[in-house]
Amino acid sequence: MKVLFLQQNITVITMVLFSEDHIQETKRRGRIEVICGSMFSGKTEELIRRLKRAKFARQRVEIFKPAIDTRYSEADVVSHEGHSISSTPIDSSGSILLFTSEIDVVGIDEAQFFDAGLVDVCNQLANNGVRVIVAGLDMDFRGVPFGPMPGLCAIADEVSKVHAICVKCGQLASFSHRTVKNDKQVMLGETAEYEPLCRECYLQALEADKQEE
């Protein structure tokens, strides 16, 4: 029984490593990878990690982000941890196709802010043999699927849902609670405006917000 348990454990570990590291960086094969989650879940960190590995493997990499996202830097994709990689800010998803001839790997950050056309663009790229890695918020502050993210998750070959830690109770957090009053969906911000919460704490926070109104 003990041996069986051990074997099962090893199988599980092997599978995790498989999905994490088995992608051969130098093999040109079209695929779509989506990294989604709440604010502070490490999405951009994971995107940068994958793109840097592709660069080490001498892949031709191009990174895009919506022109709207100018939080830290005009042209760089920067994670909360301060890691960065240079990128091209663009206004509409269609422009990605103009920049991606002779490219092996396309990275897209803050994908939730792009138009619905991004789903088609990613499909076209992958169909042409490009590895597409997309990172974005899966839900807005109301808990509603954000922009093209649900469509991207549907067409992806692989979806990684990453989690932040609930600042109220320490569980895994999937929700981005807005701590200031503002109904606009697009509102970029840092720790002051959002906090990651688990479902239970998020519902409690919404209830508390309502009573304040």
Enumerate binding residues for Zn ion (CB under 5 A).
Answer: 166, 168-169, 171, 198, 201
Nearer residue to Zn ion within complex by CB, 64 or 175: 175
110 is catalytic: yes
Q: Is 118 helix (H, G, I), strand (E, B) or coil?
A: helix
For tokens 């994958």, name the residue. Answer: 50
Q: Which of 110, 190, 193, 207 is catalytic?
A: 110
Residue 146, exposed/middle/buried by CB under 10 A (0-12, 13-18, 19+)?
buried
**40: alpha, beta or left, given left = phi > 0 and alpha = psi -120 to 50?**
left
Nearer residue to Zn ion within complex by CB, 63 or 201: 201
Token digits of residue 43: 């999405």
How wide is the angle at C-alpha 83 spanned by C-alphas 112 and 74, nearest 5°? Answer: 60
CB of 162 to Zn ion, least distance (A): 17
Nearer residue to Zn ion within complex by CB, 93 or 174: 174
CA 105 to chain centre: 16
Q: Which of 44, 36, 29 is nearest to 154 (CA)?
A: 36
- For the chain, count helices (H), then strands (E): 6, 12
CB of 167 to Zn ion, least distance (A): 8
How many Cβ atoms are within 10 Å of 68's Cβ, its own excluded?
13
Task: For residue 95, list its beta bridge partners.
Answer: none
Nearer residue to Zn ion within complex by CB, 12 or 169: 169
CB of 102 to Zn ion, least distance (A): 47
CB of 79 to Zn ion, least distance (A): 23
CB of 166 to Zn ion, least distance (A): 3
Q: Is 206 helix (H, G, I), strand (E, B) or coil?
A: helix
CA 177, CA 17: separation in Å to the nearest integer?
32
Nearer residue to Zn ion within complex by CB, 95 or 171: 171
Catalytic residues: 110
